[in-house]
Amino acid sequence: MNLTGLLRATAERHPEREAVVWKSERLDYGTLFERATRWSSFLIDQGVAPGDRVALVMENSPNYLISYFGVLMARACVVALNPHTTAHELKPPLVECEASAIIAQRSAIATLRPLLSDLPALKWLVLDEAQDAASADAGPSVSVAVQPPDGEETLAQIIYTSGTTGTPKGIMLTHRNLLANTASIVEYLRLTAEDRVLVILPFFYSYGNSLLLTHVAVGGTLVIAEQFVFLNAVLALMQRERVTGFSGVPSSFAMLLRKSPFAKTRFETLRYLTCAGGALPLTHLQELQAAHPKTDIVIMYGQTEASARLSSLDPKDLPRKMGSIGKGIPGVHLQVIGPTGAPVAPGETGEIVASGDCLMTGYWKHPEETAKVVVNGRLHTGDMATVDEEGYIFVKGRKSDMIKCGSYRMHPIEVESAMNAHPLVCESAVIGVKDEMLGESIVAFVVLQKGCGLSESDLLQSVRVFLPVYKLPKAVYFIDEIPKTASGKIRRQLLRQRLDVPT
């Protein structure tokens, strides 16, 4: 079995079931498989060879799915990149992965054109619109029919990290890695062909990629929202398409709760909400529970280095394990270890390490970086956490984000959770800045609900209920928006730049 086998099997079982809904377009699995097969024929005819890296610079759409599976059918490797970024950010991954081809949407061509002379391995660039012409052909060519299937150990995809702390690295994932994670997610979310997920996350992001693969695996439907900023339209789409699932990052839920009538809107079919990509503030979690008591809330944790997902918290455990990321998902073993490599005692802080078939084969062209994080077959996540007596894990924050204030050590998440508890706060971000006396002092950036006024002193007074004095921010800056990566992670180095402090 490989990833193209997932699509083939689903197309055979459910050829007329909707695979994707986007704007006025609806594509069933039979048509998706046929168009992807024809597209792979086109790619092979253009010279794409097994093992080639093919970049997708495309928004979520039916054409993205056709391109994704067409590349895999041609036995090439998918490298999906953000179509809304700059040439400066697109160049490093395109050069490093030695992309032989780029499939791009028309709006990205102007960004890509200046880069073409710097990409010696590039053979051609094609608009995704060419798929329409390819689909008009009589059928797949003989070259596709004779292609032997890829094995599970073949490189299927390179996903570039969001680069919150430095230059993004290409994470190499095989068919086996992605199949293992897909099967595990399908199991713990109990996904079936009846599921219809609202997609607001970009497919080039590992979380979005997992939505794509899990729903294709079971024959579910991907309902793609055009733009998440138009929240009322998103809620109407959820109701109209009778979605059963919604997946987002913490900022997604902050926007729904603070900037839309999501809490007061009824969804007859909404079975579950999933959140990953960071800590969901407890206040927001409690509001979601109160607003939609019949909807399961699944807290998840993972890394791109693990194909997406490492742990989940069963909804039935949520009331007694608030703040936990749960335990390892099926097929994944998690431990929290101390400096000696031994598991920490309950309540002690250590680093989360993981093992399982979903772990990457390494960073593309960076074996020395791979060796730092994959040791004896285990992934060292860089996330600090505690574990309780029952084995439930509680993340404290990134090792690299730890703030050292005097003799104390703390993580931004602790302070951000306290700030986010205020009803007028949409979201916040905390950083440590150099301090001659303390080593580092705490600075907070806060986004308030539109039209609301709140003073720094009033906010800090409310935070005192949750935090000791030494964890209180030295300064609070009210801003319009927290800078984030395309996957919703806080870009703390940009916040430091606002203060003109070292990154």
For residues 375 and 415, state if they share a domain. Answer: no
User: CA geometry: angle at 201 spanning 358 and 250, to 5°?
Assistant: 90
Task: Give the C-alpha separation, 383 to 204, whole Å.
Answer: 23
**Residue 360 domain-assigned?**
yes
* Span of 2-11, 145-154, 318-327, 423-432 with lowest mean pLDDT: 145-154
Segments forming the whole domain that contains residue 211: 196-398
At 292, which CATH number? Answer: 3.40.50.12780
Last residue of a domain, one of 365, 398, 431: 398
**Residue 23 domain-assigned?**
yes
CB 479 within 8 A of CB 447: yes
At 477, which CATH number? Answer: 3.30.300.30
**Residue 275 domain-assigned?**
yes
Tell me how crowded residue 499 is: count the other CB atoms within 10 A of its CB.
13
Q: What per-residue confidence (pLDDT) applies to 357? A: 97
**Residue 441 domain-assigned?**
yes
Q: Quote the distance between the C-alpha of residue 380 and its chain's center.
A: 19
Q: At residue 402, does pLDDT exceed 90?
A: no
For residues 377 and 438, state if they share a domain. Answer: no
Element (H, E) at 489: none
Under the banding of pLDDT at 50, 70 and 90, the label for residue 128 is confident
**Residue 414 domain-assigned?**
yes
For residues 353 and 415, state if they share a domain. Answer: no
**HSE-up of residue 81 (Cα within 13 Å, Cβ side):** 33
For residues 383 and 437, state if they share a domain. Answer: no
Under the banding of pLDDT at 50, 70 and 90, the label for residue 394 is very high
For residues 273 and 408, state if they share a domain. Answer: no
For residues 211 and 358, state if they share a domain. Answer: yes
**Residue 171 domain-assigned?**
no
Phi, psi dihedral angles at 101 (to 5 degrees): -150, 150
Q: At residue 331, does pLDDT exceed 70?
A: yes
For residues 208 and 329, state if they share a domain. Answer: yes
For residues 69 and 124, state if they share a domain. Answer: yes
For residues 348 and 211, state if they share a domain. Answer: yes
| 139-192: pLDDT as tens digits | 433 233 334 566 788 999 999 986 544 578 999 999 999 999 999 999 999 999
**Residue 372 domain-assigned?**
yes
Q: What per-residue confidence (pLDDT) applies to 134? A: 57
Q: What per-residue confidence (pLDDT) applies to 139? A: 40
At 106, which CATH number? Answer: 3.40.50.980
Q: Taking residues 99-118, report their average pLDDT.
A: 93
Q: Taking residues 131-141, report their average pLDDT.
A: 50
Q: At residue 65, does pLDDT exceed 60?
A: yes
Tell me how crowded residue 363 is: count the other CB atoms within 10 A of its CB.
22
Average pLDDT value for the chain: 90
For residues 242 and 310, state if they share a domain. Answer: yes
Under the banding of pLDDT at 50, 70 and 90, the label for residue 387 is very high
Last residue of a domain, one of 129, 150, 171: 150
For residues 90 and 204, state if they share a domain. Answer: no
Q: Taking residues 25-50, report their average pLDDT.
A: 95
Q: Taking residues 89-118, report their average pLDDT.
A: 94
**Residue 173 domain-assigned?**
no
Q: At residue 431, does pLDDT exceed 50?
A: yes
CB 488 within 8 A of CB 427: no
Task: Give the C-alpha separation, 25 to 46, whole Å.
Answer: 28
Non-local (6+) Cβ contacts of 311 within 8 A are: 300, 301, 302, 325, 326, 327, 328, 329, 332, 334, 393
Q: Taking residues 37-58, report their average pLDDT.
A: 95
In the structure encoding, which two tokens stand for residue 484, read together?
């984030």
For residues 10 and 65, state if they share a domain. Answer: yes
Q: What's the whole-model pTM score?
A: 0.84
Last residue of a domain, one of 91, 115, 150: 150
Q: At residue 312, does pLDDT exceed 90?
A: yes
Pairing of strands 53-57, 77-81: parallel
Q: What per-residue confidence (pLDDT) applies to 109? A: 92
How is residue 105 annotated by DSSP?
-
Q: At residue 62, does pLDDT exceed 70?
A: yes
Q: How many independent structural domains does the chain possess? A: 3
CB 472 within 8 A of CB 464: yes
